[in-house]
């Protein structure tokens, strides 16, 4: 695990632990700290130790600068935005580190920055093939983090719907920024008619079906060992990066279309195109946690008033104010509807109308999934790529000629 990954991981874990403290869960806080200490002892990693020290210093500075934010006293939307921006910032640093490492390897030099393994999270198809391989007893050592991160994201869908999309996804956040930029110049909400919206939403499920077909039928189990030992798979991350950095004409047209969709409609990419959104949407039907409206407290039934603030706040255009429970596959558990509701007890995210969770708890689930599980897989020896640097250097020289 590189220093950037270690700092991000330990900062997130310490932040999660501090949230338990500020929420008054002292027992949970002590368990979290003891778990972090145990992980440090088991790992016996100098990098992880440095990461913990840096994480603690950063958290202290963050608390000094924005105490309310660290103590979780801020509003739901501020908490979610802050968390998303921190994740995006960490990913940008990872991207810089990865670029420096790859450019130096390509130039035939020994890199002074190690390759961050978390970049393998951007290889979902490789991750899917690896998970299939694991079920057949084949463990890939080139990009283990791809399988780990894919499994983690799927797990979040089972537990808390599309909270990964609403609380963590960097692409979703960038899409939101582009959409807001467009709204500064063109104020109108350019929504497609309902009859068109549904077929457009199905595109992401078709893309998911294509990916699943590739993983399930395009790669028989017998072929997995030769695939994971192939040159292509060993530098799959570089091939993915080149796909974006040296796009073909078709890829450029696709990027332009995605750009138009993202700026035209809020969460357009998540709603219409993202295969991750599709699989999480399907898994979300199994999640016990849902947005639930309590009609005993809702202003509509309790006071006979007109109110649709929750519906108007929803970026996914879900009609919330007439439903008892939101089952929609588009719900990202972002809790904007809860934040907008003027009656505290009327709307919540939880197991039932009376057992709802705070935004801080949702964030803690996402932190636990995205950071505790990678730490566990690192301790189990299944996180760092075992591809030798020399092999990567040699393969990088002929990356353009390496195909499937």
Binding site for ligand SF4 (CB under 6 A): 291, 293, 298-300, 307-310, 313-314, 316, 318, 320-321, 326, 331-337, 340-343, 346-347
CB of 25 to ligand SF4, least distance (A): 24
Residue closer to ligand SF4 by CB (options 74, 373) is 74
DSSP letters along 246-294, please?
Answer: S--HHHHHHHHHHHHHHHHSTTHIIIII-HHHHHHHHHHTT-S-EEEE-
184-191's contacts with Cβ under 8 Å and 24+ in sequence apart are 190/264, 190/265, 191/265, 191/317
Residue closer to ligand SF4 by CB (options 123, 283) is 283
Residue closer to ligand SF4 by CB (options 70, 333) is 333
Residue closer to ligand SF4 by CB (options 266, 392) is 266
Residue closer to ligand SF4 by CB (options 7, 316) is 316
Pairing mode, if any, of strands 290-293 and 347-350? antiparallel
Q: Which of 138, 149, 40, 141 is nearest to 94 (CA)?
A: 149
Torsion-angle region of residue 108: left (phi > 0), alpha (psi -120 to 50) or beta?
A: left
Q: Which of 132, 96, 124 is nearest to 217 (CA)?
A: 132
Q: What is the Cα–Cα distance from 358 to 363, expressed in whole angstroms?
A: 9
For the chain, give percent helix, strand, coil, nearest 5: 70, 5, 30
DSSP state of 369: I
CB of 305 to ligand SF4, least distance (A): 8
Residue closer to ligand SF4 by CB (options 1, 362) is 362
Residue closer to ligand SF4 by CB (options 155, 299) is 299
DSSP state of 371: I
Q: What is the Cα–Cα distance from 45 to 248, expressed in whole angstroms?
A: 42
Residue closer to ligand SF4 by CB (options 95, 307) is 307
CB of 76 to ligand SF4, least distance (A): 10
Give the number of C-alpha atoms closer than 13 A to the C-alpha of residue 71, restricted to the C-beta side: 9
CB of 329 to ligand SF4, least distance (A): 10
DSSP letters along 182-219, please?
Answer: HHHH--S--PPPHHHHHHHHHHHHHHHHHHHHHHHTSS
Q: What is the Cα–Cα distance from 13 to 19, expressed in whole angstroms?
A: 10
In 3-state terms, what secondary structure has residue 325?
strand
Handedness of CA 344, 350, 351, 355 (dihedral sign): negative
Beta bridge partners of 290: 350
CB of 330 to ligand SF4, least distance (A): 7
CB of 312 to ligand SF4, least distance (A): 8
CB of 225 to ligand SF4, least distance (A): 42
CB of 204 to ligand SF4, least distance (A): 16
CB of 48 to ligand SF4, least distance (A): 35
Q: How far is the CA of 100 from the CAs of 11, 21, 127, 328, in angstroms?
A: 23, 38, 24, 42
Residue closer to ligand SF4 by CB (options 71, 308) is 308
CB of 339 to ligand SF4, least distance (A): 8
Residue closer to ligand SF4 by CB (options 134, 313) is 313
């Amino acid at each position: 695990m590189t220093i950037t990954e270690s700092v991000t991981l330990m900062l997130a874990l310490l932040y999660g632990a501090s949230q338990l403290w500020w929420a008054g869960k002292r027992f949970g806080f002590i368990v979290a700290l003891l778990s972090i200490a145990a992980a440090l002892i088991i790992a016996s990693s100098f990098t992880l130790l440095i990461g913990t020290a840096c994480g603690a210093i950063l958290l202290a500075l963050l608390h000094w600068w924005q105490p309310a934010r660290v103590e979780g006293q801020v509003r739901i939307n501020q908490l979610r935005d802050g968390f998303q921006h921190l994740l995006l910032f960490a990913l940008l640093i990872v991207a810089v580190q990865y670029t420096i490492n790859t450019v130096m390897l390509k130039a035939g030099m020994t890199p002074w920055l190690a390759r961050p393994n978390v970049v393998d999270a951007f290889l979902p198809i490789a991750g899917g093939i690896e998970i299939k391989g694991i079920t057949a007893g084949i463990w890939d050592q080139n990009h283990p983090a791809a399988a780990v991160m894919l499994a983690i994201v799927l797990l979040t869908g089972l537990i808390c719907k599309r909270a990964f999309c609403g609380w963590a996804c960097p692409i979703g956040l960038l899409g939101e920024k582009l959409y807001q930029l467009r709204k500064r110049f063109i104020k109108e909400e350019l929504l497609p008619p309902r009859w068109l919206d549904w077929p457009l939403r199905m595109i992401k499920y078709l893309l998911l079906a294509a990916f699943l077909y590739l993983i399930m039928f395009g790669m028989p189990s017998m072929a997995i060992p030769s695939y994971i030992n192939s040159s292509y798979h060993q530098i799959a991350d570089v091939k993915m990066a080149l796909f974006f950095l040296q796009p073909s004409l078709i890829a450029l047209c696709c990027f332009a279309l995605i750009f138009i969709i993202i700026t035209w409609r809020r969460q357009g990419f998540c709603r219409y195109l993202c295969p991750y959104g599709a699989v999480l949407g399907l898994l979300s039907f199994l999640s016990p946690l849902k947005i639930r409206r309590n009609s005993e407290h809702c202003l509509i039934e309790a006071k006979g008033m007109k109110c649709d603030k929750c519906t108007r706040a929803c970026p996914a255009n879900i009609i919330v104010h007439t439903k008892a429970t939101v089952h929609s596959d588009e719900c990202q558990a972002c809790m904007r509807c809860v934040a907008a509701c003027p009656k505290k007890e009327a709307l919540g995210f939880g197991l039932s109308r009376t057992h709802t969770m705070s935004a801080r708890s949702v964030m803690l689930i996402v932190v636990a999934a995205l950071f505790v599980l990678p730490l566990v897989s690192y301790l189990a020896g299944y996180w760092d790529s075992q591809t030798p640097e020399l092999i990567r250097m040699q393969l990088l020289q002929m990356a353009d000629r390496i195909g499937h």
